[in-house]
Protein backbone atom coordinates (compact mmCIF):
# COMPACT_ATOMS: atom_id res chain seq x y z
CA UNK A 1 0.00 0.00 0.00
CA UNK A 2 1.31 3.38 -1.00
CA UNK A 3 -0.30 6.58 0.25
CA UNK A 4 -1.47 8.95 -2.45
CA UNK A 5 -2.84 12.46 -2.59
CA UNK A 6 -4.32 14.65 -5.31
CA UNK A 7 -3.17 18.26 -5.10
CA UNK A 8 -4.95 20.91 -7.09
CA UNK A 9 -2.87 24.05 -6.88
CA UNK A 10 -5.25 26.10 -8.97
CA UNK A 11 -6.92 26.12 -12.35
CA UNK A 12 -5.48 27.86 -15.38
CA UNK A 13 -9.01 28.49 -16.67
CA UNK A 14 -9.73 30.74 -13.67
CA UNK A 15 -8.29 34.21 -14.25
CA UNK A 16 -7.40 34.92 -10.62
CA UNK A 17 -5.83 31.52 -10.07
CA UNK A 18 -3.91 31.60 -13.34
CA UNK A 19 -2.40 34.94 -12.32
CA UNK A 20 -1.28 33.42 -9.02
CA UNK A 21 0.17 30.35 -10.74
CA UNK A 22 2.22 32.63 -12.99
CA UNK A 23 3.99 34.12 -9.92
CA UNK A 24 7.16 32.32 -8.88
CA UNK A 25 6.80 33.26 -5.19
CA UNK A 26 3.25 31.84 -5.06
CA UNK A 27 4.42 28.56 -6.59
CA UNK A 28 7.21 28.47 -4.01
CA UNK A 29 4.69 28.91 -1.18
CA UNK A 30 2.54 26.15 -2.64
CA UNK A 31 5.54 23.82 -2.89
CA UNK A 32 6.54 24.68 0.69
CA UNK A 33 3.02 23.91 1.95
CA UNK A 34 3.00 20.57 0.12
CA UNK A 35 6.38 19.71 1.65
CA UNK A 36 5.15 20.56 5.15
CA UNK A 37 2.11 18.36 4.59
CA UNK A 38 4.32 15.43 3.58
CA UNK A 39 6.57 15.95 6.61
CA UNK A 40 3.53 16.08 8.90
CA UNK A 41 2.24 12.85 7.40
CA UNK A 42 5.55 11.07 8.00
CA UNK A 43 5.65 12.39 11.57
CA UNK A 44 2.45 10.46 12.30
CA UNK A 45 4.33 7.19 11.98
CA UNK A 46 3.26 3.93 10.40
CA UNK A 47 0.71 1.78 12.21
CA UNK A 48 1.36 -1.95 12.00
CA UNK A 49 -2.22 -2.94 12.83
CA UNK A 50 -5.44 -2.36 10.91
CA UNK A 51 -7.82 0.30 12.20
CA UNK A 52 -10.14 -0.76 15.00
CA UNK A 53 -13.74 -1.50 14.09
CA UNK A 54 -16.39 0.59 15.84
CA UNK A 55 -17.95 -2.53 17.39
CA UNK A 56 -14.58 -3.61 18.81
CA UNK A 57 -13.94 -0.11 20.18
CA UNK A 58 -17.33 -0.03 21.90
CA UNK A 59 -16.84 -3.51 23.35
CA UNK A 60 -13.37 -2.59 24.64
CA UNK A 61 -14.47 0.70 26.19
CA UNK A 62 -17.95 -0.26 27.43
CA UNK A 63 -16.62 -1.28 30.85
CA UNK A 64 -14.59 1.92 31.24
CA UNK A 65 -17.16 4.55 30.39
CA UNK A 66 -20.85 4.82 29.91
CA UNK A 67 -22.37 7.21 27.45
CA UNK A 68 -25.39 9.06 28.85
CA UNK A 69 -28.53 8.87 26.80
CA UNK A 70 -29.37 12.00 24.92
CA UNK A 71 -32.14 14.09 26.37
CA UNK A 72 -34.60 15.58 23.92
CA UNK A 73 -34.29 19.31 23.38
CA UNK A 74 -36.64 21.55 25.33
CA UNK A 75 -39.63 22.83 23.38
CA UNK A 76 -39.24 26.39 22.13
CA UNK A 77 -40.61 29.04 24.41
CA UNK A 78 -42.99 31.60 22.91
CA UNK A 79 -41.43 35.01 22.56
CA UNK A 80 -42.98 37.86 24.54
CA UNK A 81 -45.12 40.34 22.62
CA UNK A 82 -43.27 43.44 21.43
CA UNK A 83 -43.45 46.49 23.64
CA UNK A 84 -45.03 49.54 22.03
CA UNK A 85 -43.59 52.75 23.36
CA UNK A 86 -45.93 55.17 21.60
CA UNK A 87 -49.47 54.87 20.27
CA UNK A 88 -49.81 54.02 16.60
CA UNK A 89 -51.22 56.51 14.16
CA UNK A 90 -52.53 55.89 10.62
CA UNK A 91 -49.51 57.78 9.27
CA UNK A 92 -47.04 55.38 10.90
CA UNK A 93 -48.81 52.18 9.83
CA UNK A 94 -47.09 49.92 7.31
CA UNK A 95 -49.25 49.21 4.26
CA UNK A 96 -48.81 45.74 2.79
CA UNK A 97 -50.31 45.31 -0.70
Report domain extents, the chain.
15-64
- pLDDT at residue 96, as a whole number: 46
Beta carbons within 8 Å of 21's beta carbon, 6+ residues apart: 9, 10, 12, 27
- pLDDT at residue 15, as a whole number: 92
pTM tops 0.95: no
Q: Can you tell me the distance from the alpha carbon of 97 to that of 26, in angstroms, rounded to the nearest whole number? A: 55
Q: Can you tell me the distance from the alpha carbon of 59 to that of 54, in angstroms, rounded to the nearest whole number? A: 9
Residue 85 has pLDDT above 60, yes or no: no
Amino acid sequence: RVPAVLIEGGFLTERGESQLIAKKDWRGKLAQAIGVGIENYHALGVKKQPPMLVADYRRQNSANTSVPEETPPAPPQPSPPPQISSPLSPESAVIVP
